Amino acid sequence: MNSGEKEFAYTRADFDNVRKLLYQLTRIHLADSKDSMVYSRLVRRLRALKIPGFSQYLHFVQTHEEEVQHFINALTTNLTAFFRESHHFEVLADYLSHHSVKRIWCAASSTGEEPYSIAMTVAETMGCFDAGIEIIASDIDSGALQTAQAGIYNEDRIKSIATHQRKQFFLKGKGSQTGNVKVVPELARMVTFRRINLTEHKWDIDGPVDVIFCRNVMIYFDKPTQLEILQRMVRLLKPDGLYIAGHSENYSHATHLVRHLGKTTYHPARVQSA
Ligand SMILES: C[S@@+](CC[C@H](N)C(=O)[O-])C[C@H]1O[C@@H](n2cnc3c(N)ncnc32)[C@H](O)[C@@H]1O
């Protein structure tokens, strides 16, 4: 890393300290290759706060509680899409048709595309917006949650959605909102958002939960953390509940916790006490 070319002094030790702090706060593990990413993500905070270098910024985060959330928000990766890994929504529709579902938890909901895809699937399968199914969406990133709650997206984000779904579930923006779409209020009302750090001891979620979507977040944690979170989630699930993981998250080694159903979908291995 050549700090001489950079606007702010940034050394290997700064990168290691950022990693350490992020791990303490979120258990997200950043690989060695993420040093440039860390610089580009945090540099905006340094500019906004008029802080001259990374070591001073780290000190600032550790002494100013209100900066901690900005630090986390800057370093999380929020990549997502409507109906990402579309087979999961077919599995959900089938599950809804055969079970009396009351509660669905989307545990790393990012900017909202995933929980709104769940809500669209529920609305279509149940034939109404108010089927009495609670959809709770959570994330550690307060900025992503704000975007999710607003429910406003660039039109490009819904290009791959079927025309009839675009018509039923989105409103076209006008005036200053031209080029944007907004989820219809009936869909927005189906989802409640809250901030939950999956690595914290307590989660603001009541059990039992019928379906948990926990996709593309475990990859950021080490194996012991993944298993700990999986175990706690399985305890929240109904005995025949559904756990849906991301495409690169595999729990074939955790047969004491989950039973493999199909492509990255699982049932609890056995009845777990809540
Ligand atoms: C790559 S996105 C995945 C979004 C969505 N689940 C999907 O598959 O499209 C990962 C999300 O996990 C969230 N995240 C990271 N660490 C977390 C933690 N400790 N607790 C809760 N959410 C976390 C990030 O803020 C980010 O929004």
Indicate whether 109 and 170 sit together in one domain: yes
Alpha carbon nearest to ligand 1 atom 27, residue: 110
Does 198 contact ligand 1 (Cβ within 6 A)?
yes
Residues 182 and 119 both lie in one domain: yes
How far, in Å, from the CA of 171 to the mean position of ligand 1?
Answer: 27
Q: Is residue 217 a contact partner of residue 56, using CB atoms and an 8 Å limit?
A: no
pLDDT tens across 87-124, in order?
999 999 999 999 999 999 999 999 999 999 999 999 99
Tell me which of 41, 157, 166, 232 is the catalytic residue. Answer: 41
Considering only CA atoms, which of 182, 111, 119 is closest in space to residue 141? 111
> What is the percentage of the chain residues whose pLDDT exceeds 90?
93
Q: What is the mean pLDDT of the chain?
A: 94
14 lines ligand 1 (CB under 6 A): no
Residue 74, token pair as written in the block:
């800057």
Question: Hey, what are 5's tokens?
Answer: 């070319």
> Are 71 and 91 members of one domain?
no
Pairing of strands 265-268, 237-245: antiparallel
Q: Is the beta carbon of 88 within 6 A of some atom in ligand 1? A: no
> Tens of pLDDT along 10-66?
999 999 999 999 999 999 999 999 999 999 999 999 999 999 999 999 999 999 999
Q: Which of 14, 35, 103, 139 is catalytic?
A: 139
Give the pLDDT score at 229.
97
The Cα 84–Cα 215 span in angstroms is: 10
Active-site residue flag, 259: no
In a domain, 247, yes or no: yes
Last residue of a domain, one of 75, 109, 130: 75
Is residue 21 one of the residues assigned to a domain? yes
Q: What is the CATH number of the domain that holds 106?
A: 3.40.50.150
* Residues 15, 114 within the same domain: no
CB of 26 closer than 8 Å to CB of 32: no
pLDDT of 5 higher than 90: no
Query: Is residue 174 domain-shared with residue 245, that is, in the same domain?
Result: yes
Q: Count CA within 13 A, CB hemisphere, residue 211.
A: 29
pLDDT tens for 148-161 read: 999 999 999 999 99
**Same structural domain for residues 7 and 92?**
no
Residue 13: CB atoms within 10 A of its CB come to 11
| Domain span including residue 37 | 3-75
In a domain, 274, yes or no: no
82 part of a folded domain:
no
Give, using CA atoms, the residue closest to atom 7 of ligand 1: 80
CA distance 111 to 157: 12
Do 50 and 155 sit in the same domain of this protein?
A: no
Does 165 lie in the same domain as 56? no
**Beta carbon of 78 within 6 Å of any ligand 1 atom:** yes
- Between CA 217 and CA 108 the distance in angstroms is 7
Distance of CA 150 to the CA centre of its chain: 16
Q: What angle do CA 267, 273, 274 make, to 5 degrees?
A: 90
Ligand 1 lined by 225 (C-beta under 6 Å)? no
Q: Are residues 138 and 241 in the same domain?
A: yes
Q: What is the CATH number of the domain that holds 34?
A: 1.10.155.10
Query: Do 138 and 193 form a contact (C-beta atoms < 8 A)?
Result: yes
Binding residues: 78, 80, 84, 114, 139, 197-198, 215-216
Based on the structure, what is the number of domains in the chain? 2
194 is catalytic: no
